[in-house]
Amino acid sequence: MKDLGGGGLSTALSEVASAGDRVEVELDQVRRREADMPPAEIMVSESQERMLLMLAPTSSEPIIEILRKYEVPYSVIGRVTNDGNLTIRWNVRSWRSSRPSSW
């Protein structure tokens, strides 16, 4: 679990990737305060009340049930991969950045 307060997704995802997890994220799935936010702003947007949770697919349903029960907004924005990259996509056809997680 990572707080998205200091540096937003850019910091949280970089920390996760540098710890050895490879991550693939779809920015289109990220909840945002304004519909027309550009990808860079989505990545660095700091929101103290938002958290990044990384859950194993086999254990995510009980957590999702709790979020739904208490009407906590959430989005599934990505997955852990084994390709060695931190991959960030925005409107898959038009923007994609992929860097080695050691970068």
Helix (H) or strand (E) holding 86: strand 85-90
C-alpha–C-alpha distance, residues 10 and 41, integer Å: 10
Full-model pTM:
0.75
Higher pLDDT, 103 or 43: 43
| Tens of pLDDT, residues 14-55 | 777 766 667 888 888 988 878 888 888 888 887 667 888 888
C-alpha–C-alpha distance, residues 9 and 11, integer Å: 5
| Tens of pLDDT, residues 76-95 | 998 888 776 778 888 865 45
| Partners of residue 51 on adjacent β-strands | 3
